Chains A and B, each alone.
Chain A
Amino acid sequence: MERLEIRQKVLNENDRVAAALRQRFAEQGTAVFNFISSPGSGKTMLLERTLERLPLGMNVAVLTGDIQTDNDARRLARAGYPVQQITTAGACHLDARMIERALANWPGEEFDLLLIENVGNLVCPTSYDLGEQAKIAVLSVTEGEDKPLKYPSAFFKSSAMILNKTDLLPWVPFDCKAARANARAIHPEIEIFETSCTSQQGLAEWCEWLVAKVDARCVAA
Chain B
Amino acid sequence: MHEMGIVSSVLDAVHRVAEKNPGRRPSKVGLRIGEWAGVDLESLRFCFDALAPSEGFRDLDLEIDYRYRQNRCQRCGLEFRVKDYEIQCPSCLSDNTIPAGGEELDIAWVELQE
**Minimum Cβ distance to chain A for residue B99 (Å):** 7
Contact B13 A8 (CB under 8 A): yes
In-complex Cβ contact of B108 among A6, A123, A126, A185 (8 A): A6
**Minimum Cβ distance to chain B for residue A175 (Å):** 17
Q: Which interface class (under 10, 10 to 19, 20 to 34, 35 or more) fits B?
A: 20 to 34
Return the CB mask of A1-39 against B: 1 if under 8 Å, else 0.
Answer: 111111111111100000000000000000000000000
Q: Which interface class (under 10, 10 to 19, 20 to 34, 35 or more) fits A?
A: 20 to 34
Residues from chain A with Cβ under 8 Å of B10 in the complex? 10
Return the CB mask of B68-108 against A: 1 if under 8 Å, else 0.
Answer: 00000000000000000101000000000001000101111
Q: State the total of A-B contacts with C-beta under 8 angstroms.
A: 85
Contact B99 A156 (CB under 8 A): yes
Contact B9 A6 (CB under 8 A): no
A63 to B36, CA, bound (A): 27
Residues from chain A with Cβ under 8 Å of B103 in the complex? 153
Contact A7 B112 (CB under 8 A): no
In this complex, what residue of B is CB-closest to A2? B112
Residues from chain A with Cβ under 8 Å of B110 in the complex? 3-4, 6
In-complex Cβ contact of B2 among A5, A124, A185 (8 A): A124
Contact B36 A156 (CB under 8 A): yes
Contact A11 B112 (CB under 8 A): no
Contact B109 A6 (CB under 8 A): yes
B54 at the interface (CB under 8 A from A): no
In-complex Cβ contact of A10 among B107, B112, B113 (8 A): B107
17 additional A-B residue pairs with CB within 8 Å, beyond A91-B5, A156-B36, A188-B87: A1-B27, A1-B114, A3-B109, A3-B112, A4-B17, A5-B109, A7-B106, A7-B107, A7-B108, A10-B13, A10-B31, A10-B107, A93-B2, A124-B2, A127-B2, A127-B6, A153-B37
